[in-house]
Amino acid sequence: MSARGLLDELGRELASVEQAIRTHRYLAAAPGRESLCAFVGEQYTILRSDRRGFAQLAARFSEPPAGDLFIGLAQGEGEALTRLLTLAGSLDLQEPSLATYEPQPGCQAYSAFVAWLALNGSRADLAVALLANLAAWGENCRRLAALLGDRCDTSFFEFFAEPASGFEELAVAVADEGLAAGDPPARAKRAARLLQAYELLFWDTLADAL
């Protein structure tokens, strides 16, 4: 099976979860400062974990195209972390307070699974899961940038609002290479299903705290 065919199947199977993320109640109105501070605290832990996870994947799968994809993702998490600290500063938060923030399990399930995949997942698992997941995350970041434009720095949200140039084509190539080498399609679909569910759990946990 090709990556495109697998993604078409996942699009149908995960449509309800995708819709729940894109229409989440957390985005019904601009979140207040306390909720935004929690968002920043959670993302501070997530980004640092994901950057290490993608670096681990780049070490496991060092040859192109997979090595290029995972190195690029690790670099992107570093850029996002810089932008997150700028967002934090616009909310009068300093990095020492972020380092002592106590994250919520429901918000951290996503990055915990990325870390698990970094050790145990195949190339296809990661590439397919990210392709299935990142569009909804990007859409929510785009909406938050619009909602918060006059209240804080929004460069973090703008960074994720559009996929990096060439990301989709590169990730599809990685998935196709993995599938051709024997990575099981069923495992890649499972990884995508779980990652998307953990994405929804992130937003649910933030909203439940409001």
The 10s digit of each residue's pLDDT in 50-71 is 999 999 999 999 999 999 999 9
Residue type, 101: Y
* pLDDT of res. 198: 98
Q: What is the pLDDT of residues 97-141, one digit of tens each?
A: 999 999 999 999 999 999 999 999 999 999 999 999 999 999 999
Q: Which residues contact 107 (CB under 8 A, 6 or more apart)?
A: 42, 46, 201, 202, 205, 206
**Domains located in the chain, CATH noted:** 3-208 (1.20.910.10)
Residue type, 72: G
What's the token pair of residue 98? 């972020």
Whole-angstrom distance, CA of residue 172 vs CA of residue 174? 5
* pLDDT of res. 158: 97
Q: Kindly report whether the global pTM for this prediction surpasses the value 0.85.
A: yes
Residue recorded with tokens 């993608």: 54
* pLDDT of res. 210: 77
Q: Which residues contact 71 (CB under 8 A, 6 or more apart)?
A: 54, 55, 58
- The Cα-based distances of 98 to 75, 87, 111 in angstroms read 21, 12, 17
Whole-angstrom distance, CA of residue 193 vs CA of residue 189? 6
